[in-house]
Structure 1
Amino acid sequence: MIARIRMAPLLALALLVACDPAARTPPGPGGGSPPESGAFEPPIGIPPPEFGIVEKLEDYYTRPDPWDEETPGWYYVQHDHPSASDARIYGTPAAPRATIPDPIPAGSVVVLAGAYAFAPTGYDSILAEGTAEAPVFIVGEEGAVVTRKWRIQSTYLIVDGLEFTGGGRIEIRYPSHHVAFRNGEHHNTVGKFGGGGASPAEYIHDIVIYNNKIHSQEGWNEGTEDKDNHGIKFGPYTEDVWILDNVGYHNAGDFIQVGDWGDGSTEALNRARRFYIGRNVAYANRQSALGIKQATDVIVSQNVFYDNKKIQSNVGGQAGIYFLYGPERIWLIYNRIYDSNSGITGGSNSGGTGQEQYLIGNVIYDIAAAPDDDKPPGSAWGAAAIRLNGGQNRYVVDNTIWNVDGGIYSPSNRPLYVHGNVVAGVRGGHHLVIDTKEGANLSRIEGNLFFQPEGSPTFRMGSSTVYTGVSAFEAAWPARVRHNLEADPRFTDITARDFRPQSGSPAIDSGSEHDVYQRFFDLYGLDIRRDAAGTPRPQGAAWDRGAYERPQ
């Protein structure tokens, strides 16, 4: 019989202190290591999932030892074993079942070995009937690999340590909820990893994708067409999804994409909601690292995105993060984006009605236009660390920007609130551009630090007039542009891209807290008053400007 032990307590909400993204080294083959049970700490601003990360198989069940006879609740499956047979109910390592049982009863463990290629209708249906007290585990033995698609319609299921390749991929469908995929590898596949529900009454929810490597789709860097074969993709009728601590590269689309185009209705805006995307590393994908389409309450925290550069002919360049179609309450916080054609881009509002977009505490550097980008350097549509032609009420707060073709750009007529940022080292373009008179009259540029080595920062707001220096800019717009500084931010080590302010920096204790931090707390009950290294703010008498506090 299955030996059960008491379930480990749910993870308590930990202090939201995270490591500096600058210190993260992209994992090599095999990805990272999962935490010990109870040790998981979520990224800043992201709540822990109630199921899927800290649960360990041995906290629930004890593997048969020796496993030389069939044991109720323990299924051993090896599809390519010469004597595999479903005439056996459970199987053993020496005499396995051929296929995964359908359905999988609550309280079961499926141990998968060898190559699994069962797909009677083009895919295998995985129907796990787990419960909170008796979840189902599907775990891989060393070398286990899945080569055909799985359609998941399961509850309280953990899929752990499996490799998917070739035709092997994951499609999550209703009525799935409380399903986790962790510690796996998905590569050289022919489709996306993800899914969605079926209708307003049929959502999938509480999905976790944790500590996986997703990479190397065929043709990711070939041709100029829009392939849209994303690494991870969730569409409509999806809510409460955690995508954490994964590595993605060489996917034939975005590494991660959430949401879809909408019809302008409130119902459409809420078809995809509550996504938590944190501490992922993504580089060298065909499109961008992360795309957010029409969705609501998307928190993107402490990711590292780099080497996002143009491959397709139908785009002007690739971004670390882009959003479009009017998403609502997206929070792009404490991400590190570099060596790309664009840092963060906001696209068209077509079909969407979202009112709030927030960019807080991000570190963006080494941004250069694609070689065939024909837009003039000062164009509001040109390459920039942040370019927001979409969105409604856009808040750009406490970011640090360095060595970029353009700083913060908005070709839109919507409000732009720029507060507490450090923008320095702009090549060819301007430190800030608000293209339209209407947009300029709705915007506020306050409390920032601008710097241009061997020169002066430049700005364009509401017209073609270029203002050189902060004093000239503030004099031209006294009601809209206030309390900004023009000075060397004195980064700790610019060669090492260490953007923390060193002693004597004018950024130290010269800033102020913006209302966005209280807004986040009021919405979600979590305090994000921290810097890009996870240090609580403020450290001194007042906030420091930019993404980092200098510890006292």
Structure 2
Amino acid sequence: MNSSFRHVAYLLLSFIIIPFHSTGAYTMPVGIPAPDINFEQEAPARPSDWSKEVPGYYYIDLVNGSYSPSFGSETAPRKMLPQPIPAGSYVEIAGDYDVPAGGFTRIIANGTNSEWVANTSGPVWITKAKNKPGSFTGHKVVLWGENAFLTDMLFKDKSLLQIGSPSSGYAAKNIVARNNEIIGVIDGGTLLSTSGGSPDSKAENIIFYNNTIHDAGDINSSFDQDAHLMTVSGYTSNVWILKNTGYNASGSGLQVNGAPPRIATHNVYVGDNEIYNVRQSGLWVKFAQNVIFSGNYIHNIVTTPWSVSKGIGAQYEPDGLWMINNRIHDVEYGIRIASTYDVGETILKVYTVGNIIYNVTAAPESTIQVGSENSWQSAAIHLVGGHEHYIYNNLIFNVGNGITTSSHSHKTLIENNIIFDVINGHASGESGYNIWSEGNKGTEKLIVDNNFLGGGFKVKLHHTIYERTALLDAGGHLNNVTNPIAVDSTDIESIFSSLMSNQDVSTLLKDKGKNNNYFLQTSFKEIFPNTTGLDRDILNKERELGASIDIGPFEQDGAKNEVTPPQSPTNVQVLITPQ
């Protein structure tokens, strides 16, 4: 590839790895509905003259303040936060703040869901002081109540942020935590979390936006320390976790509800986050309903003797888990659905749509080495639990195995995927399986249609190995195609330049997908009615849905024949001329 052509490939790649935001308001990742709260709204303006007290404006300085002021000012600060903080309050914290009561620092918000009027109505605002940035230190901060914004604060020296409480009477509603930095140095627990424990102590309408969370626990500990970056607990609903960055943890990046009941945690929306260098998993669900992971970037997850490294996935009772347009690499499993429980008549459904997964193989010390006849070995997508699996339009390459199943599920649909170069970790000249279903074989339970399998593919269904598409057709698995891609699969730039410019490959992908509109639109919008459905690809280009959908995670042209550019650079035009 010449340098100019490689440069074009780089530009194409940039469309994939840069999150898509419109100028101005934040654009939700595909499939995630917008919350009712305007979480980007500006805080009230601070007083132009804060040398004296202004009703509704609290200036807090624990070290230099006193108990006498009602509100405090820059010249005569108040010492402690009011309890509770009334509606229409704007609070600035100067310096370190640590006022534990019962082992934690309390913030009780009595905001209202109305226009902000100082000392009268509207949400509570808590932020750092302008000239003396504030921080929480020493103890956990627990915030409960209603209608509050906590912004631009630093949490350090074993401080962390918990919204709500499992104790009765500590409900939290309409809370936004944004632009904060939370630094770990903890021995367990979670740096940023929601916490509900009963129907009268729920957490609902919670938004974590643009926070940086890092260094939870000791990532080199020789035991399962289990310090997480983020968690969503039981009795929590309508949670948005958007555009956060998390790294370095002895536990997971995000864990959604580690204990039953499943129905107590629902409608959790996780999008546009970057998680890396954590142990166990990037994003994980245990007991929850209707969870969306969309547009996240998960990479370099650390394996341990007690937990293999996984990008995203679930176990126990994930009911309605949608994994959409995520990018995952340098893990042992890209997406994994581990063992799940018997939940009676409930059918646990899992959807994997439009993800890019690459550089996947077992760590040298791992027990899931590739090359054996055990379907539990390392793979881009590995399915054990759940009852119905819908795997559409993913791109998988440079992996030990592509899509593998190790159970007799009710139904598994594998359609419109691109899977090639299943060689990572194998001996020279050997390869894994593009698709491997250990349990299901017949088309009543297993459908393998309209996939692009690269050159020299291997598909194993039950005990039968297929290496020709005609044999798959004869077995009822239709319209799979194969064609070699003569590039180094470790070079993602080359892969995308080839897929976009190689006429033979493009012809095999364009308009050749299977129509999955029932799931991509109808079924999805029945569950999440306030979205446009899964109408955009991983490039944020409008899909040509229906019978003209392309194979893979991106549209060759798009329904409107346009690409939405990232914020910077702007006005980029890319013209590709085959070499």
Q: Normalized against structure 2, the TM-score is what? A: 0.83
Q: SS state of the match for residue 525, structure 2?
A: helix
Q: SS state of the match for residue 125, structure 1?
A: strand
Matches within 5 A, 1:117-132: 117-132=98-113
Tell me, yes or no, if structure 1 residue 144 matches structure 2 residue 134.
yes
For structure 2, the 5+ residue unaligned runs are 1-12, 115-121, 165-169, 424-430, 562-579
1:95-128 Cα deviation digits (max 9, x unpaired):
2111111010000011011011211321121111
- Return the match for 1:336 from 327, 340, 345: 327
Matches within 5 A, 1:101-112: 101-112=82-93
Cα deviation, residue 494, structure 1: 6.9
Cα deviation, residue 351, structure 1: 5.9
For 1:369 and 1:53, locate their aligned partners in 2 and report how far apart those are by CA, in whole Å: 41
Cα deviation, residue 40, structure 1: 1.8
Tell me, yes or no, if structure 1 residue 420 matches structure 2 residue 424.
no
For 1:494 and 1:440, locate their aligned partners in 2 and report how far apart those are by CA, in whole Å: 34
Matches within 5 A, 1:135-534: 135-141=123-129, 142-147=132-137, 148-173=139-164, 174-190=170-186, 191-192=189-190, 193-223=192-222, 225-262=223-260, 268-310=261-303, 312-315=304-307, 317-350=308-341, 352=343, 353-375=346-368, 376-377=370-371, 378-414=373-409, 415-427=411-423, 428-437=431-440, 441-452=444-455, 456-463=456-463, 465-475=464-474, 477-478=475-476, 481-488=477-484, 495-497=491-493, 499=496, 501-503=499-501, 504=503, 505=506, 506-514=508-516, 515-518=518-521, 519-525=523-529, 526=531, 527-534=533-540
Tell me, yes or no, if structure 1 residue 49 matches structure 2 residue 35.
yes
Amino acid at match of 2:158: G
Q: State the superposition RMSD in angstroms.
A: 2.4
Contact 2:294 2:323 in 1 (8 A): yes
Q: SS state of the match for residue 496, structure 2?
A: strand
For 1:472 and 1:271, locate their aligned partners in 2 and report how far apart those are by CA, in whole Å: 47
Change (3 A) 1:294 1:182: same
Amino acid at match of 1:355: L
For 1:35 and 1:188, locate their aligned partners in 2 and report how far apart those are by CA, in whole Å: 33
For 2:488 and 2:540, locate their aligned partners in 1 and report how far apart those are by CA, in whole Å: 17
Q: SS state of the match for residue 340, structure 2?
A: coil
For 2:15 and 2:181, locate their aligned partners in 1 and report how far apart those are by CA, in whole Å: 23
Matches within 5 A, 1:38-77: 39-51=25-37, 53-58=39-44, 62-77=45-60
For structure 1, the 5+ residue unaligned runs are 1-18, 26-31, 263-267
Contact 1:440 1:461 in 2 (8 A): no
- Deviates further, 138-147 or 422-431: 138-147
Identical aligned residues as a percent: 29
For 1:22 and 1:95, locate their aligned partners in 2 and report how far apart those are by CA, in whole Å: 51
For 2:367 and 2:465, locate their aligned partners in 1 and report how far apart those are by CA, in whole Å: 21
For 2:540 and 2:554, locate their aligned partners in 1 and report how far apart those are by CA, in whole Å: 9
1:193-226 Cα deviation digits (max 9, x unpaired):
2132221343210000000000012312221x22
Cα deviation, residue 22, structure 1: 2.9
Cα deviation, residue 541, structure 1: 8.1
1:225-248 Cα deviation digits (max 9, x unpaired):
222211111111000000000000
Cα deviation, residue 41, structure 1: 1.2
Cα deviation, residue 143, structure 1: 3.0
Contact 2:58 2:90 in 1 (8 A): yes
Cα deviation, residue 167, structure 1: 2.2
Contact 1:331 1:359 in 2 (8 A): yes
Contact 2:271 2:293 in 1 (8 A): yes
Contact 1:43 1:301 in 2 (8 A): yes
Q: SS state of the match for residue 184, structure 2?
A: strand
Q: Normalized against structure 1, the TM-score is what? A: 0.87
Change (3 A) 1:21 1:338: farther
Change (3 A) 1:140 1:87: same
Contact 2:441 2:461 in 1 (8 A): no
For 1:447 and 1:79, locate their aligned partners in 2 and report how far apart those are by CA, in whole Å: 64
Cα deviation, residue 314, structure 1: 0.8
1:427-480 Cα deviation digits (max 9, x unpaired):
13201111014787511111111013xxx11111122x32223233333x22xx
Amino acid at match of 1:218: G
Cα deviation, residue 540, structure 1: 11
Q: SS state of the match for residue 90, structure 1?
A: coil
Number of positions where the alignment pairs a residue of Structure 1 with one of Structure 2:
506
Change (3 A) 1:494 1:488: farther
Q: SS state of the match for residue 471, structure 1?
A: helix
